[in-house]
Homo-oligomer: A and B are copies of this chain.
Amino acid sequence: MSKNSKKLPYKDHFLYKILNPKTIAIFGANNNLLTTMGSMQLRNIRSGRGLDNNIYPIHPRLEKVQGYKAYKSVLDLPIVPDMAFLILPTNVVPEVMEECGKKGIKNLLITSGGFRESGTNGIELSEKIDEIAKKYDIRFIGPNCLGIYNGWYGYPEKEKAYFNTFWPYVIPQRGNVSIVSQSGTIAAQIFWHAKEMGVKISKSISVGNERNTDMVDCLEYLKNDLQTDVIGIYIEEIKRGKEFIQLAKNVTPNKPIVAIYAGGTEAAIRSIMSHTGSIGGSQKIYDSVFKETGIISTDLILDFLYYLRTLSFAKSYNVFPKGKRVAIVTDSGGSGTMMAKMAEVYGLNVPEFSNSLKAEILELIPPTASANNPIDVTFDVNFINLFYKFPKILMKSGEIDSIIVYGVFDFDEVMDTIEKSGMIIDEKMRSINIMVDNAVLKPIKRLMKKYTVPVFYAGPFPYKYSWFQKFISYDVPIFELWDHPTKCLSILTEYSDYRLMFTNPKQ
């Protein structure tokens, strides 16, 4: 994010307190971090650096839980916590909830499963917790949820804290993408890959059975949240259809929404029933809802992550392509051809260049190379041309709206290998690592903003390699392999078109 200072949270909503509790009571954590989910969740809350000593474990027997004094009952607490977090067997939930109500706690997070997704007894229990919530004016998330994550916990008072109640411990970079999910996995287990590929997360909310807080509540919050520019949702069922559609229509012109609808087939609907107890609907209905509301949809988790990352980049730097004309620059004929094909399959154009533009390009490439679109520089070690000069010429020409560059290698690794082969690499060569920062990554970002032309880079290395992580650290879109740049550019171009239909889109 370029201007963190302006990214204030939206406070005028009950979800603000749930995402930013100053004090918390936790039920179901002990000292066994290996096999007890609640213990892992407490461990992660501790790691977030925000709550310090304001954590109150409730435990029937233990004196201390993970270093904190434990209390036998929530009623014994010396303060009234902002929130209680229940990771408990289903049957004790109503009783504990009642006590929380008596204590005056207004916000709950209920992880426990076994409610309506488990049949008749579960439905009774669900109705019981509804009543208790009503009686004590409680708002809660769940039951049957995995928890929440807030990368901006306590901001701006706290600079680098986060709030993670999930059991996975990995934390992606902080950013402008928020997730609302009817599956805990899509809310939390995507974090390993999000971190690896650079999807920067603001909030992630696992809404579970949505008994009290549903997707519409979350979208209402995120619509106004300055820390959120892009929203990803995972849907098994939409409970308040009319409200959802109306709200989504209001959100998408300014904040793109990417959705996975996991139902629509027989086995999927059966799976949904046993997962959250919802009744999934036909794919057709959902497709028409997505179309009507301008929601971008996919069935694939990798596309979901890529689309979120792409839109996050575009929103952060206000780089929305003005049209469908994509230029492809590559040091490899095969990947160039494959991308040219897929760009057209996905609805983009790969136009031929004017003669004057071709002439300009020809000055920079070897005689065996091609100045057509795709530009194929063939084997050429001048990566400043490939990464920077061609994109610059193309932007200036006004003949294209977006650019894909293929040919990012991990040159550190290349040089390491060369050195191992017996050749001495001098300091000057080693400095290309730093040179690429100043001669490529910083200036290309300026150019992207200036011309509103996105440049997507790709190469044959997995993300783990340092040069790929370097691009990610600069927020310059980088792709391992060459399948996704075209797909993402097509999604971005469509969304750019869509937002222009609304007058004065905020940026």
Contacts and interface: CB of A to CB of B under 8 A. Distances in A.
A160 to B, nearest CB: 19
Interface in A342-376: 342-345, 349-350, 352, 367-368, 370, 372-374, 376
Of the listed residues A270, A271, A343, the one surrounded by the most CB atoms of chain B closer than 10 A to its CB is A271
A274 interface: yes
A480 interface: yes
A274 B376 contact: yes
A421 B34 CA distance: 11
B274 A482 contact: no
A34 B415 contact: yes
A275 interface: yes
B299 A345 contact: yes
Interface string A484-501: 000000000000000000
A481 B197 CA distance: 13
A443 to B, nearest CB: 24
Q: What bracket does the count of chain A residues touching chain B fall in?
A: 35 or more
A4 interface: no
A265 interface: yes
A466 interface: no
Nearest to A168: B460
A418 B40 CA distance: 8
Contact of A336 (B169, B275, B303): B275
Interface in A76-134: 90, 113-114, 117-118
A274 B378 contact: no
B483 A302 contact: yes
A226 interface: no
Given A182-B334, A270-B372, A274-B376, A460 B340 contact: no
B265 A345 contact: yes
Contacts of A417: 169
B234 A334 contact: yes
A271 B192 contact: no
B335 A265 contact: no
B35 A462 contact: no
A367 B192 CA distance: 29
A493 to B, nearest CB: 15
B421 A33 contact: yes
Given A185-B334, A302-B483, A483-B300, A340 B271 contact: yes
Contacts of A341: 262-265, 267-268, 271, 299
Nearest to A36: B381
A263 B113 CA distance: 51
Interface of A: 31-35, 37, 40, 43, 46-47, 66-67, 90, 113-114, 117-118, 167-169, 181-186, 189-193, 196, 234, 236, 260, 262-268, 270-272, 274-276, 299-303, 328, 332-338, 340-345, 349-350, 352, 367-368, 370, 372-374, 376, 378-379, 381, 414-415, 417-418, 421-423, 425, 429, 460-464, 480-483
22 contacts: A33-B418, A33-B423, A34-B418, A90-B368, A118-B368, A168-B460, A169-B417, A184-B334, A185-B334, A186-B335, A189-B332, A193-B462, A260-B338, A263-B341, A268-B344, A270-B352, A270-B373, A271-B336, A271-B340, A271-B376, A301-B338, A302-B481
